[in-house]
Amino acid sequence: MESVQSPIIPVVADLIRRHPGTISLGQGVVYYGPPPQAEQKVAEFFRVPEIHKYKPVHGIPELVEAFTKKLRAENNVEVGVERALFTTAGGNLAFASAVLAITDPGDEIIIQAPYYFNHEMAITMANVRPVIARTLDNYQLDLEAIRAAITPRAKAIVTISPNNPTGAVYPEADLRAVNALCAERGLYHIHDEAYEYFTYDGAKHFSPASIPGAEPHTISLFSLSKAYGFASWRIGFALVPTSLRESMNKILDTLQICPPVIAQFAAIGCLEAGIAYTRQKLEEIVRVRALVKEALTKFGDSVEVPDSRGAFYFLIRPRTKLKPMEIVEQLVTKNRVAVVPGTAFGVEDRCALRVSYGSLTTETAREGLQRLTDGLSKIVH
């Protein structure tokens, strides 16, 4: 555990608490909450006499069936006999469980840098070595770097699209290439799709699990936290090859016994509301995104803003001699605005800051961006 990095979000959150009035452009959450159907399902939960006992480790049948239908309709993915679907207490547990299911101590898992810090942490906790494949300068996949990272101890390649922390959306062709490479080299392709509904400017989300023949080696991870304003309810999903069913049962029976059933009821309500609910809420995020992009690009070459057409992040690169955490502390203490340092995502060769805009409305965005640009103007050169 000493080799596991400390999670950065609580560190930044503590800094915010010590400076009241700070506007957070840090944590990746949305500005809205769950749909009314979720509340209705919670009321229904209390009317079922036997509901307070343990339920199936993989999720209650009604939720499993609802998400199976979602995968068929939206992702062109069939659960069928070759795949097993598990409901988990959030997307992070889905990932950590998959890592435990496929690795032995000393194995390796290839992740793209910048990486999602909780993925890197989960791999290290499992006594597995995270192997870093650098992405291109625009944060797109570097297929040659991925291939070069494969060793005899490698067990999986991880991709996230739309991406946290960069907002990059990987083209279908690149995800197909990674999936084919995994099939060729006997690796699992772990693909995180938590931000699947958050795409802009013509970018399209693609599920590698929809590729014919991908069933034996593809692990797909999903979450309701972002799309349905459902973060604290902790409901995610792992779609795995049936060869991993027994291992996943062991792991999840130990770590969660069953996902919180009241949250599963609420999750059914979310899926009943469906993608139409998220699309309605996305209209405000699109407006906020435009404001953020406009504000950041005004700095010209002083602040690099790589293309971001997904999730609700920009991983910007300000030109400065200051270290990222020094900038974070300065922005909070002097400007009352918070971002996340790129070092948490494995960016060591240059200064990078993650700007998150999902929690903002157009009203809060204007004030937050004014504070951010005021602060950055005193930092960059």
Domain-located, residue 1: no
The predicted pLDDT at position 27 comes to 86
CB-neighbour burial class of residue 45 (10 A; exposed 0-12, middle 13-18, buried 19+)? middle
Q: What is the pLDDT of residues 256-265, one digit of tens each?
A: 999 999 999 9
**Same structural domain for residues 339 and 221?**
no
State the DSSP code for 342.
G
For residue 59, give both structure tokens: 């999720």
Q: How many residues does the chain have?
A: 381
**Same structural domain for residues 268 and 280?**
no
Instruction: Please provide the distance, in angstroms rounded to a whole number, between the alpha carbons at the two ends of the chain.
Output: 39
CB-neighbour burial class of residue 17 (10 A; exposed 0-12, middle 13-18, buried 19+)? exposed
The predicted pLDDT at position 359 comes to 95
**Among 273, 307, 322, which residue terminates a domain?**
273
Backbone torsions φ then ψ of 340, nearest 5 degrees? -120, 135
Confidence of residue 328 (pLDDT cuts 50, 70, 90): very high
Supply the CATH number for residue 55's domain.
Answer: 3.40.640.10
**Same structural domain for residues 73 and 166?**
yes
Domain-located, residue 70: yes
For residue 312, give both structure tokens: 């609700």
Bridge partners (DSSP) of residue 220 are 191, 239
Per-position DSSP letters for 148-195, written without gaps between them: HT--TTEEEEEEESS-TTT-----HHHHHHHHHHHHHHT-EEEEE-TT
Confidence of residue 7 (pLDDT cuts 50, 70, 90): confident
**Among 243, 273, 303, which residue terminates a domain?**
273
The predicted pLDDT at position 6 comes to 87
**Same structural domain for residues 293 and 366?**
yes
**Same structural domain for residues 365 and 220?**
no
Q: Is the pLDDT of residue 85 over 80?
A: yes
Mean pLDDT for the chain overall:
96
Between 181 and 27, where is the model more confident? 181
Bridge partners (DSSP) of residue 302 are none
The SS3 assignment for 31 reads coil
Dihedral angle of Cα 275, 280, 282, 285, to the nearest 10 degrees: -160
Closest CA to 140 of 102, 176, 112, 178: 112
Domain-located, residue 3: no
Q: Is the pLDDT of residue 340 over 90?
A: yes
Edge-to-edge strands, sheet with 108-113: 83-88, 236-241, 218-223, 188-192, 154-160, 108-113, 129-134
Q: Omega of the bond prior to 162 within 30 degrees of 0, cis?
A: yes
Backbone torsions φ then ψ of 374, nearest 5 degrees? -60, -45
The SS3 assignment for 3 reads coil
**Same structural domain for residues 15 and 48?**
no
**Own/partner pairs for 143-150, CB < 8 Å, 24+ apart?**
143/174, 143/177, 143/178, 143/181, 146/110, 146/112, 146/178, 146/181, 147/181, 149/110, 150/110, 150/185, 150/187
**Rounded CA gap, 40 and 265, in Å?**
9
Query: pLDDT above 70 covers what percent of the chain?
Result: 100
Domain-located, residue 2: no
**Same structural domain for residues 98 and 135?**
yes
**Same structural domain for residues 269 and 283?**
no
**Rounded CA gap, 295 and 284, in Å?**
17
State the DSSP code for 379.
T
Structural domain count of the chain: 2
State the DSSP code for 199.
B
Query: pLDDT above 90 covers what percent of the chain?
Result: 94
Q: Is residue 275 within 8 Å of 205, Cβ to Cβ? A: no
Domain-located, residue 265: yes
Q: Per-residue pLDDT averaged across 135-164, rounded? A: 98
Domain-located, residue 85: yes
The predicted pLDDT at position 60 comes to 97
**Among 255, 273, 291, which residue terminates a domain?**
273
**Same structural domain for residues 256 and 285?**
no
Domain-located, residue 207: yes
**Same structural domain for residues 44 and 28?**
no
Q: Is the pLDDT of residue 8 over 90?
A: no
Q: Is the pLDDT of residue 225 over 90?
A: yes
Bridge partners (DSSP) of residue 192 are 160, 221
State the residue range of the domain holding 292.
8-33+276-377
Q: Omega of the bond prior to 241 within 30 degrees of 0, cis?
A: no
**Same structural domain for residues 238 and 371?**
no
For residue 208, give both structure tokens: 């590698």
Q: What is the pLDDT of residues 26-79, one digit of tens each?
A: 889 999 999 999 999 999 999 998 899 999 999 999 999 999 999 999 999 999
The predicted pLDDT at position 26 comes to 87
**Same structural domain for residues 59 and 120?**
yes
Q: CA angle, corner 115, sides to 74 and 323, nearest 5?
A: 140
Q: Is the pLDDT of residue 351 over 80?
A: yes
Domain-located, residue 217: yes
Supply the CATH number for residue 286's domain.
Answer: 3.90.1150.10
Between 255 and 13, where is the model more confident? 255
Q: Is the pLDDT of residue 194 over 80?
A: yes
The predicted pLDDT at position 17 comes to 94
Element of type H or E holding 204 = none
Q: What is the pLDDT of residues 270-315, one digit of tens each?
A: 999 999 999 999 999 999 999 999 999 999 999 999 999 999 999 9
Q: Is the pLDDT of residue 381 over 80?
A: no
Q: What is the pLDDT of residues 91-137, one digit of tens each?
A: 999 999 999 999 999 999 999 999 999 999 999 999 999 999 999 99
Q: Is the pLDDT of residue 9 over 90?
A: no
